[in-house]
Amino acid sequence: MDDGTLMLRYRDGDVRAFETLYQRHKAPLYRYLQRLCRSPDTANDLFQEVWGKVIASRERYEVRAQFNTFLFRIAHNCAIDHFRRAASVQAKVTADIYSMADELPGSVAERPESQAAQAQLQADFAHALNALPPEQREAFVLYEESGLSLAEIGKASGVSMETAKSRLRYAVAKLRVALGRHDPERIERATVHPSHVAVAATLQPGVEL
Amino acid sequence: MDTVDETALNDYLRRDSAVSQRYRELDADAVPASLDHAVLAQARAAIAEKKPSRWRGVTRWSAPLALAASVVVVVSIVREPAMRKVQTVPVAAPAPMANESAPLRYEMPEEEAPVRAIPQSTAAAVTQEQEARKRMQVSPEAKQARPAESMRAKKFELDRNVRDEAVSNAQQLAAQSVATPPPPPVEFAPPPNTNIAHPIAMSRDDVAAAAQRRALPPPSDSDLSEVIVTGQVRRPAPSSGAGPRGTVPALPKPDGAVDEAFSEDEPEAWLRRIREWRNEGLSRRADDEWLRFRQKYPDFVVEDADIARPPR
């Protein structure tokens, strides 16, 4: 049964329909919020807030788009509201990056050599992901977790499809750069343009290219 | 730059790029069980609060349905008496006779002698005629109510033929007072052989003639029987001005002239002519001729239908 039908059933009083919906979408949503917020407590709060709004909006729910679009639209708005309430988005991003570094598993030197490179790769990737501007990171995580198209990502984020595509393009480029450091073949395939690095260093949240 | 980035993006959008693969390899926490319980409990609570909404559709329509049902019941109750009135046979002509308030001529105790009814009948006829005229001018609603009164008239012990004759006479009287006389009721359809005149339907001329007849010598026994039956004494032949106003044209009858259709020397033809007049609605003339016929041929054997039954 598709998500729209389950939501309509829940609107009509079928709790089990909601439970099915919840089981389908709770993990991607939770990962999305984790990547976006990079704080487990914040992700937990936002996770519960998002589902609470889904429950509250069941009466006026209409099957006009995918349920994923509807769900991540609510998640996006909740996240934006949360960031606006925060003292400084840039400061938080910076703090999260360092805190993330502290939370990483033990130093690479402590692991066997065969796993060290893999761990380092993941660490670098995670760092690169966290270093992305929030809009680009959101576009990338949304694409990875929700399975929505570029147009639907634009709707969920409240922007046009071209804007969503642009954000995703820059995010992918930066992440490929991080991966290229560990993969000589990827370095050859990936073309690192000096302007990418400059943009990444100077890009402020909310600034679109 | 754009070309490279676009190529990289297209490669990524296929969802099998190295970037996606690395992303999926990242450690990710599962949703805590506490969060699951909290969210599901909130979902159930929301449904429990809105449980009555399942009946919202019913309650929302219950008031309009109840109102519609009430309107239907009220309309059916209001229309029932009207339908009952419409279903009864409309009788405008016999209404004067059927009126309980008006003393009917033949409403007399059995032990009374018929002769005594004569003077009473004349005055009663005048009164009844006046009341009949008033009733003829009543509203259509009252006319429709006459069927109910006519139904009550069945309780009275009246001669059926008298009633039938009253219908035809009343029709003529109604034609005088109203533009369109109502159709005669079926149950009071006068039989072809009815030749009894009802005193209620007497015209003014008839009343005057009746008053003159008081001065006439007492009728013979044969005439008395007819008086008992008809309630009238012989009255002079109507003048050219008598008869229903504007409805039945006065037949030209010069003095001494005899209708071509019959001769008084031929009783059978005379009787036949009388019946024809009655069928044509010329009851008054037929009555006069009947009286004259009976005076001339008191012993002439006529059919039972021609014989007016005396009032019980």
Supply the Cα-derived Rg of chain A in whole angstroms: 19
pLDDT at A95 over 60: no
Q: How far is CA B300 from CA A129, B227, B234, in A?
A: 136, 18, 18
CA B307, chain centre distance (Å): 32
Name the one residue in this structure whose structure tokens are 């919840």.
Answer: A22
Closest by CA to B106, choosing from B223, B136, B98, is B98
Tokens found for residue B148: 């109910």
Looking at every residue in chain A, the average pLDDT score rounds to: 78
B12 in contact with A at a CB cutoff of 8 Å? yes
Q: How far apart are CA B301 and CA B176, in angstroms?
A: 37
Per-residue confidence (pLDDT) for residue B49, from 0 to 100: 78
Query: Residue A11: its chain B contacts at CB < 8 A?
Result: none
> Is the Cα dihedral A142, A147, A149, A155 positive or negative?
negative
Residue A173 and residue B36: Cβ atoms within 8 Å? Answer: no
B24 in contact with A at a CB cutoff of 8 Å? yes
Contact B278, B308 (CB under 8 A): no
Q: How confident is the model at residue A86 (pLDDT cuts 50, 70, 90)?
A: confident
Per-residue confidence (pLDDT) for residue B36, from 0 to 100: 94
Q: How far apart are CA B192 and CA B310, in angstroms?
A: 18
Per-residue confidence (pLDDT) for residue A197, from 0 to 100: 41
Nearest-Cα residue of chain A relative to residue B50: A13
Residue B54 and residue A13: Cβ atoms within 8 Å? Answer: yes
Indicate which of A51, A192, A196 best probes the interface with B, i.e. most B CBs within 10 Å of its own CB: A51
Residue B1 and residue A172: Cβ atoms within 8 Å? Answer: no
Closest by CA to B165, choosing from B192, B146, B127, B137, is B192
Query: Residue A44: its chain B contacts at CB < 8 A?
Result: 32, 35
Residue A125 and residue B22: Cβ atoms within 8 Å? Answer: yes
Per-residue pLDDT of chain B (312 residues; tens, 9 = 90+): 467 778 888 888 887 788 888 888 887 788 999 999 999 999 999 988 766 655 655 666 888 888 999 999 999 998 887 777 666 655 555 545 544 554 445 444 544 444 444 455 555 655 666 666 666 655 555 555 555 555 665 556 556 666 677 667 767 776 665 555 555 555 544 555 545 544 454 556 666 666 566 655 555 555 555 544 555 555 555 554 444 454 545 455 544 444 555 678 888 998 899 899 888 889 889 889 889 989 898 888 888 777 654 544
Q: Determine phi and psi for B281, rounding to 5 degrees.
A: 95, 5
Nearest-Cα residue of chain B relative to residue A55: B43
Residue A44 and residue B35: Cβ atoms within 8 Å? Answer: yes
Query: Residue A22: its chain B contacts at CB < 8 A?
Result: 36, 39-40, 43
pLDDT at A28 over 90: yes
Nearest-Cα residue of chain B relative to residue A59: B50
B68 in contact with A at a CB cutoff of 8 Å? no
Query: Residue B20: its chain A contacts at CB < 8 A?
Result: 144
Please state the ipTM of this predicted complex: 0.72
Per-residue confidence (pLDDT) for residue B204, from 0 to 100: 61
Nearest-Cα residue of chain B relative to residue A129: B23
Q: What burial letters (b/e) apply to A86-95, b meaning 16+ CB within 10 Å?
A: eeeeeebbee
Closest by CA to B172, choosing from B274, B289, B287, is B287
Query: Residue A30: its chain B contacts at CB < 8 A?
Result: 29-31, 35
Residue B23 and residue A169: Cβ atoms within 8 Å? Answer: no
Q: How far is CA A138 from CA A80, A95, B112, in A?
A: 11, 18, 120
Q: How far apart are CA A78 and CA A73, in angstroms?
A: 9
Q: How far is CA B37 from CA A20, A89, B33, B137, in A?
A: 14, 31, 6, 89
B74 in contact with A at a CB cutoff of 8 Å? no
Q: Determine phi and psi for B28, rounding to 5 degrees.
A: -140, 135
B43 in contact with A at a CB cutoff of 8 Å? yes
B22 in contact with A at a CB cutoff of 8 Å? yes
pLDDT at A19 over 50: yes
B14 in contact with A at a CB cutoff of 8 Å? no
A57 in contact with B at a CB cutoff of 8 Å? no
Break chain B into its structural domains and give their ranges.
95-235+260-306
Residue A30 and residue B30: Cβ atoms within 8 Å? Answer: yes
Query: Residue A59: its chain B contacts at CB < 8 A?
Result: 50
Residue A55 and residue B42: Cβ atoms within 8 Å? Answer: yes
> Is the Cα dihedral B193, B163, B299, B285 positive or negative?
negative
Distance from the Cα of B56 to chain A's closest Cα (Å) equals 11
Distance from the Cα of A72 to chain B's closest Cα (Å) equals 16
B9 vs A15, A172, A179: nearest CB:
A172
Nearest-Cα residue of chain A relative to residue B49: A13
Contact A32, A141 (CB under 8 A): yes
A121 in contact with B at a CB cutoff of 8 Å? yes
Q: Domains, chain A, ranges and CATH?
A: 1-86 (1.10.1740.10), 88-209 (1.10.10.10)
| pTM: predicted TM-score of the whole model, two decimal places | 0.44
A173 in contact with B at a CB cutoff of 8 Å? yes
- Residues A161-206: tens digit of each pLDDT: 999 999 999 999 999 888 887 654 543 444 444 444 443 443 334 4
Residue B19 and residue A183: Cβ atoms within 8 Å? Answer: no
Q: Which three-class secondary structure state does DSSP give residue A191?
A: coil
A127 in contact with B at a CB cutoff of 8 Å? no
Distance from the Cα of B47 to chain A's closest Cα (Å) equals 6
Nearest-Cα residue of chain A relative to residue B20: A144
